[in-house]
Structure 1
Amino acid sequence: MPRTHELIEVKRRLMSPRALQVAKICIAVAVAWSLAPLMPGTAKEFPYYAPLGALLSMQPTLMRSLRSAAQTLAGVLIGIGLAAIVLIVSDPNVWTLAFVVGLGALVGGMKWMGVGGEYVPITALFVLIIGGPEADGYSIGYATQLCLGIVVGLGVNLLILPPLTIGPARERMLGFRRTLSKHLTEIGEAVLERSPPAREDWATHGEMLDAAARNVRTAVQAAEESRKGNPRAWFTRGNLDADYDALVALENVTFHIRNLTEVLAGMVWGKPIPLESPQNLRPVLQEALSAVAGAISAGVDDPRQPQLLDQAAVAVEEILRTMQQEIGAGAASLSPTAAIVIDLQRILVALRPSRQEAPAPAAS
């Protein structure tokens, strides 16, 4: 059994997007190096720049590859142009080298240059030092071989399983739902404990939830970018509008969970603000937290979601009915629970698709 588990893990790693990208880089570099000697004229004297171009054009998505290739080529051409200006005015020396590198770094620092900015001073330096008296031939060979490598890299990235990250983004979204649901369940369990619970970590998970939300947004944005110009997207449910809507909903849910977590931490631990809550409210509060956690874990495509949302809404209404019975406890005791109820209601509003209407409150 351990051996089987190890084989499965090795297979998973070999089939991962990163492993596939590495394999494609190796193929692109090999093809570019094989084609480089076939280039005409002086370009064949500089075959080592073709693999470099292939390497520079291999990015995680097709659009990023195109953008990187265009920016790199622009940086190279600008660098060649700066070196040409220096050679027209003077021979290479310590002052002209320093000047062209400084000017190239200044131009390359412009925002629109992107990743190609760093190649402006590098190319200018190469042309002046390596090209020297044969700068014309070197520049043509350098640019030609680099273009060959870029074309090869783009072709390999397009033809061999172009990266499409919609599936991983949706998996990360599902994992985020489970994280929020688990967090809400844990704090619900802490509410019922008579003495302060042994575990306090749930009270400090706010930053972790925010970081998880940012990671999911990054994954969804990367998935949207991976669709553009990708033929694999034609055969995949590639419209991410619903995923963006779900992400915005979960970000709102995260905000409200952080709010009610602080309130519950004050009720259970007395920090950051000491708060009170009648003991009779705690069972219904725990049931509502558990019900809302179940609604969070169900995605939009889950057929159980409408029922779970309705059940959660009923559980939250039960808190309000119990609060009416505890009206004699005073505002100081009931206010924290009222704040939690508002956050729970807002969570349910964020989770409920716009086409659904919330169930009417039960008559008291």
Structure 2
Amino acid sequence: MSTPRSAAIAGTRVKAWIAHPRLLLAAKTAIAVGLAWFLAHLVPGVADDYPYYAPLGALISVSPTLMTSVKRGAQTLAALAIGILLAGAIIIFWEPNVFSISLVVGVGVLIAGSRWLTAGGEYVAVAALFVLIIGGQDADDYSVGYLVQMAVGIAVGLGVNLLILPPLNTTSAVLRLAGFRSLLSDHLHDIGKALIETWPPVHEDWAGRSGTLTETADRVREAVTQADESRKLNPRARLHQRNLEKDYEDLADLETMTFHVRDLTQVLAAAIWESPFPAELPQDLREPLSDTIHAVADVLTLRNADEDLSEGVDAADDALRTLLERLDQQRDVDPSALSPTASVAMDLRRILAIMQGSSTTANA
């Protein structure tokens, strides 16, 4: 490989690595922790004796999205306050011993399961335990210092996350949606090719890809959800506006299409390899079925390119009509031998109906 080309590839990899969200998150976390440690020593009063809790608060509060940071910070402070109150109740009405400490930790774990403390609930038991064991005779000063320094750290973490490139994950969601469409399109094209090969087909990877389709759908939904979350409270969202409702609609359509693609995949795999159940696929129907599958896959490709879907949808509709006509002509064939083709045709019709709906929405 030539030196210039090697340098270009290396440069591309370095840029991708530098732009990785995890690296940005790590850098912001490091900055927040360092700044929190510096500011912790400037806090007056008894809190100055517990500066090490400020970096911990900063570490907790820097999250992939601003909204997550706010929720985690607020819920952590609430959990700390509750834990300190529990410890205070033990000190006032009982005394710290093996039974009382075990009891307060158990109660803290129960409270942590509240739906109001989903992000920082574990700090209820932690705060109570720390106050009783570490605070000891100075439980009052320790509680104040612990809570104040954690609040300082959380405030620093939120500020850093807000001021330094607050994450906006809409681009990632768009790319994931496009990748999902490409996966479904490629999968359908693979099936279409296999149908007109010498049986049994040489290409059979598509037959075991159902799990991959489901996993991809889950990852795409997670990406769209994160994109939606990243827009909340984010000032950059005003500069990079995007209709995520449309993305959610596209995702729902793709998930429904995935269900039908998995269904027709299983039926055709059974027709070819008679597993997991026996099925038949008359030879005269393989070519029109292949043409229809390719035509439906082409519509997904057009959608990814943001092109007009009407011609692609019409072509797929014509191919489906031809398939159904050929299916009607098989009058001398046992009806049970035609049911797999009819099942696949119904799945393709439902997929096409979804694409027609997308085409209508896009043109509205």
Structure 2 match to 1:161:
165
Task: Determine the C-alpha separation between the residues in 1 that align with 2:102 and 2:324.
Answer: 74
CA-to-partner distance for each residue in 1:52-105, whole Å, 9 max, x for gaps? 111111111111111111110011001111111111124423232222222222
Q: 1:339 aligns with which of 319, 330, 343?
A: 343
Q: 2:277 aligns with which of 245, 262, 273?
A: 273
Task: Determine the C-alpha separation between the residues in 1 that align with 2:232 and 2:270.
Answer: 48
> Once the 2 structures are TM-superposed, how far is the Cα of residue 300 of structure 1 from its aligned partner?
7.0
> Once the 2 structures are TM-superposed, how far is the Cα of residue 267 of structure 1 from its aligned partner?
1.9
More displaced stretch, 64-73 vs 299-308 = 299-308
Task: Determine the C-alpha separation between the residues in 2 that align with 1:167 and 1:272.
Answer: 40
Answer whether contact 1:260 1:340 (CA < 8 A) is retained. yes
Please state if 1:13 is matched with 2:10.
Answer: no
Task: Determine the C-alpha separation between the residues in 2 that align with 1:19 and 1:292.
Answer: 40
Distance 1:93 1:112, change over 3 A: same
Unaligned runs of 5+ in 2: none
Task: Determine the C-alpha separation between the residues in 1 that align with 2:101 and 2:299.
Answer: 65
Q: 2:312 aligns with which of 297, 308, 312?
A: 308
Structure 2 match to 1:93:
97
Task: Determine the C-alpha separation between the residues in 1 that align with 2:304 and 2:175.
Answer: 14
Task: Determine the C-alpha separation between the residues in 2 that align with 1:11 and 1:135.
Answer: 50
Secondary structure, counterpart of 2:121 in structure 1: helix
Task: Determine the C-alpha separation between the residues in 1 that align with 2:11 and 2:360.
Answer: 47
Unaligned runs of 5+ in 1: 358-364
Answer whether contact 2:35 2:156 (CA < 8 A) is retained. yes
CA-to-partner distance for each residue in 1:113-141, whole Å, 9 max, x for gaps? 21322111111111112211111111111
More displaced stretch, 145-154 vs 306-315 = 306-315
Structure 1 match to 2:180:
176
Structure 1 match to 2:228:
224
CA-to-partner distance for each residue in 1:25-68, whole Å, 9 max, x for gaps? 01111111111111111111111111111111111111111111
The residue type paired with residue 62 of structure 1 is L
More displaced stretch, 314-323 vs 176-185 = 314-323
Answer whether contact 1:177 1:297 (CA < 8 A) is retained. yes
Structure 1 match to 2:121:
117
The residue type paired with residue 23 of structure 1 is A
Runs of 4+ in 1 over 3 A off after TM superposition: none
- Normalised by the length of structure 2, the TM-score is 0.93
Structure 1 match to 2:298:
294
Please state if 1:80 is matched with 2:84.
Answer: yes
Q: 1:236 aligns with which of 240, 245, 259?
A: 240
Alpha-carbon RMSD across the aligned residues, in angstroms, is 1.7
More displaced stretch, 222-231 vs 97-106 = 97-106
Structure 1 match to 2:329:
325
> Once the 2 structures are TM-superposed, how far is the Cα of residue 301 of structure 1 from its aligned partner?
6.8
Query: Sequence identity, in percent?
Result: 47
Structure 2 match to 1:47:
51
> Once the 2 structures are TM-superposed, how far is the Cα of residue 22 of structure 1 from its aligned partner?
0.7
> Once the 2 structures are TM-superposed, how far is the Cα of residue 329 of structure 1 from its aligned partner?
2.6
The residue type paired with residue 328 of structure 1 is D
Task: Determine the C-alpha separation between the residues in 1 that align with 2:54 and 2:90.
Answer: 26
Structure 2 match to 1:360:
none
Distance 1:182 1:67, change over 3 A: same
Answer whether contact 1:227 1:238 (CA < 8 A) is retained. no
Alignment of 1:63-74 (within 5 A): 63-74=67-78
Task: Determine the C-alpha separation between the residues in 2 that align with 1:354 and 1:184.
Answer: 19
The residue type paired with residue 36 of structure 1 is A
CA-to-partner distance for each residue in 1:281-308, whole Å, 9 max, x for gaps? 2111111111111112232771232221
Secondary structure, counterpart of 1:329 in structure 2: coil
Structure 1 match to 2:200:
196
- Normalised by the length of structure 1, the TM-score is 0.93
Alignment of 1:255-266 (within 5 A): 255-266=259-270
> Once the 2 structures are TM-superposed, how far is the Cα of residue 144 of structure 1 from its aligned partner?
0.6
Structure 2 match to 1:147:
151
CA-to-partner distance for each residue in 1:323-342, whole Å, 9 max, x for gaps? 23333233233222122111
CA-to-partner distance for each residue in 1:337-358, whole Å, 9 max, x for gaps? 122111111001112236739x
Structure 1 match to 2:38:
34
Answer whether contact 2:308 2:359 (CA < 8 A) is retained. no
Answer whether contact 1:61 1:226 (CA < 8 A) is retained. yes
